[in-house]
Chains A and B, each alone.
Chain A
């Protein structure tokens, strides 16, 4: 089918580097170089590098946890927002459009500051006004608010990716499914989304990597992630070059591995056709 042919040729050039695998794959060399660098630093100069690594160790876990939980929530909320945007109901598509436009117009850092500092005050204010004890004493959980903030923001971008993916599937697919008696939801579930997922895999992978990097912003809202632990270490020891080099290398390892994973999944889903 020509639709399939088109998709194949479209995805081919982007992943040409990854497909030419074998003896020279710059990606792997880079991963090994960065990991080698970290090992070299902590073995040849354990002080300060090993100390830094041990100090930020729990922050690595927080970063990964925040990223992965946010990412899965983004996948769900983004899909709901996308279905809202393409909905024929004016109200639903209106709400979804306003949401996306608002979120895209405000920096993530400002959104995080709002969720952590402003949102609890708003809730407490409402609690006082309505005299509800539970709301009056509401306190924001840093990690919870960080995940909420990232999800709220990234789901808007993700919805645009879903929308483009869904709209790239030819109209005839929906018509064929409906003509067989499937409801809109069934057609989406069994026919449209399985095809759209293959189309949007590369941009979704990029979003994952972006979330991983932008999770460093949660350090401003009292979440002890890798970046915040780095700042704490620096405040105590004041060795900025070593500290931030180490943090940068750790982020780099994670993003490079994530990129590899994305390429792997992409290739696998392509072979399945």
Chain B
């Protein structure tokens, strides 16, 4: 079967900044890919191109057989691709429950009872069923991020994108979010994760990728990349992070 994500020679410019310089990457179904790299290397930009939150200037991206070109196709892709943000981006005016059911009801056209049932299942899955009626502002960062994951999963996505999901969290809350992600990976979800959590990468990822200056520098299984990198740039970066 064709790779579920096919990125071919994508370029992205922000004014004079050349953020992505011809990135090509295929992700197979069920694969977990972790992208690392210094800030400004284009890793988040690449991730945001996959569901077209960021437009790209050249190249092509095909997700599950749908090319990202027309507005219709972009929306179709977005309903298949869940995204989790560094800043959670829960809707602060809605309860946890409504956060998870809103898109189900208006996009998936599920009725309230069905959407609620799915939301409760997912809250159980991420371990905070008791917070269904709370507002996002009443939750800790780790809880908010788990709700954000549940919100994305409620759309039954085929792919999940994680944009530095633990970077805005206090250290003691990181693990609870990583545990949820680990479970997802074990269930066979296709995941693209921008994160420097090496422990997660080693345990869950099939592939780790180092990006720098808008290009993919090196890609290998995480154990190989972290312990025996071939590129000088990778060694240099890892020596600073690890």
Please report the C-alpha to C-alpha distance between residue A57 and residue B15 in the assembled complex, in whole angstroms.
63
How many residue pairs at the A-B interface have CB separations less than 8 Å? 72
Q: Does residue B82 face the partner (Cβ distance < 8 Å to A)?
A: yes
Residue total for B at the interface (Cβ-Cβ under 8 A): 28
Q: Is the CB of A1 within 8 A of B107?
A: no
Query: A178 contacts which chain B residues (CB < 8 A)?
Result: 53, 78
Query: A273 contacts which chain B residues (CB < 8 A)?
Result: 92-93, 135, 137
Which residue of the partner chain, among B81, B87, B93, contacts A195 with CB atoms under 8 Å? Answer: B93
Which single residue of chain A is at the shortest CB-CB distance from B81? A179
Q: Is the CB of B88 within 8 A of A1?
A: yes
Please report the C-alpha to C-alpha distance between residue A182 and residue B152 in the assembled complex, in whole angstroms.
12
Indicate with 1 or 0, residue by residue over A1-16, a CB within 8 angstroms of chain B CB atoms: 1011100000000000
Query: A22 contacts which chain B residues (CB < 8 A)?
Result: none
Which residue of the partner chain, among A175, A186, A195, contacts B92 with CB atoms under 8 Å? Answer: A195
Which single residue of chain A is at the shortest CB-CB distance from B137? A4
Q: Does residue B181 face the partner (Cβ distance < 8 Å to A)?
A: no
Q: Is the CB of A173 within 8 A of B78?
A: no
Chain A nearest CB, measured from B66 CB (Å):
13
Q: Is the CB of B78 within 8 A of A1?
A: no
Please report the C-alpha to C-alpha distance between residue A176 and residue B79 in the assembled complex, in whole angstroms.
12
Q: Is the CB of A175 within 8 A of B93?
A: no
Q: Is the CB of B87 within 8 A of A172?
A: yes
Q: Is the CB of A190 within 8 A of B102?
A: yes
Among A176, A180, A183, residue most surrounded by chain B Cβ atoms (within 10 Å): A180
Please report the C-alpha to C-alpha distance between residue A139 and residue B36 in the assembled complex, in whole angstroms.
71
Among B91, B135, B144, residue most surrounded by chain A Cβ atoms (within 10 Å): B91
Indicate with 1 or 0, residue by residue over B96-135, a CB within 8 angstroms of chain A CB atoms: 0000001100110000000000000000000000000001
Please report the C-alpha to C-alpha distance between residue A213 and residue B227 in the assembled complex, in whole angstroms.
74
Q: Using C-beta atoms within 8 Å of the partner chain, give the interface range for chain A.
A: 20 to 34
Which single residue of chain B is at the shortest CB-CB distance from A197? B93
Q: Does residue B193 face the partner (Cβ distance < 8 Å to A)?
A: no
Query: B79 contacts which chain A residues (CB < 8 A)?
Result: 180-181
Q: Is the CB of B137 within 8 A of A183?
A: no
Q: Is the CB of B78 within 8 A of A181?
A: yes
Q: Does residue A198 face the partner (Cβ distance < 8 Å to B)?
A: yes
Q: Is the CB of A173 within 8 A of B91?
A: yes
Q: Does residue A191 face the partner (Cβ distance < 8 Å to B)?
A: yes
Which residue of the partner chain, among A179, A183, A191, A198, contacts B91 with CB atoms under 8 Å? Answer: A191
Please report the C-alpha to C-alpha distance between residue A183 and residue B71 in the assembled complex, in whole angstroms.
9
Q: Is the CB of B136 within 8 A of A181?
A: no
- Known contacts: A1-B144, A190-B102. The answer to whether A180 contacts B92 by CB under 8 A is no
Please report the C-alpha to C-alpha distance between residue A172 and residue B91 in the assembled complex, in whole angstroms.
10
Q: Does residue A194 face the partner (Cβ distance < 8 Å to B)?
A: yes
Which single residue of chain B is at the shortest CB-CB distance from A181? B79
Question: Restricting to B147-169, which residues have a CB under 8 Å from any CB of A?
Answer: 148, 151-152, 155
Which single residue of chain A is at the shortest CB-CB distance from B80? A181
Q: Is the CB of B93 within 8 A of A172?
A: no
Chain A nearest CB, measured from B220 CB (Å):
29
Q: Does residue B19 face the partner (Cβ distance < 8 Å to A)?
A: no
Please report the C-alpha to C-alpha distance between residue A170 and residue B41 in the assembled complex, in whole angstroms.
24
- Known contacts: A1-B136, A186-B106. The answer to whether A179 contacts B82 by CB under 8 A is yes
Which single residue of chain A is at the shortest CB-CB distance from B78? A181
Please report the C-alpha to C-alpha distance between residue A190 and residue B107 in the assembled complex, in whole angstroms.
12
Query: A194 contacts which chain B residues (CB < 8 A)?
Result: 93
Q: Is the CB of A172 within 8 A of B75?
A: no
Please report the C-alpha to C-alpha distance between residue A178 and residue B82 in the assembled complex, in whole angstroms.
10
Which single residue of chain B is at the shortest CB-CB distance from A189? B106
Query: B88 contacts which chain A residues (CB < 8 A)?
Result: 1
Q: Is the CB of B137 within 8 A of A5?
A: yes
Which residue of the partner chain, among A176, A181, A182, A198, contacts B89 with CB atoms under 8 Å? Answer: A176
Name 5 extra pairs, CB < 8 A, besides A175-B53, A181-B155, A186-B106. Answer: A1-B90, A1-B136, A175-B89, A180-B103, A190-B106
The 21 listed contacts between A and B (C-beta, < 8 Å) are: A1-B88, A1-B92, A1-B137, A3-B92, A170-B87, A170-B89, A176-B85, A176-B90, A179-B152, A180-B79, A180-B103, A180-B151, A180-B152, A181-B78, A181-B103, A181-B155, A182-B103, A183-B75, A186-B106, A195-B92, A195-B93
Write the residues of chain B forming the contact surface with A, with a CB cutoff of 8 angstroms: 51, 53, 75, 78-79, 81-83, 85, 87-93, 102-103, 106-107, 135-137, 144, 148, 151-152, 155
10 closest A-B pairs by beta carbon, nearest first, are A181-B79, A176-B89, A180-B103, A172-B89, A179-B83, A4-B137, A181-B78, A181-B107, A1-B137, A4-B92
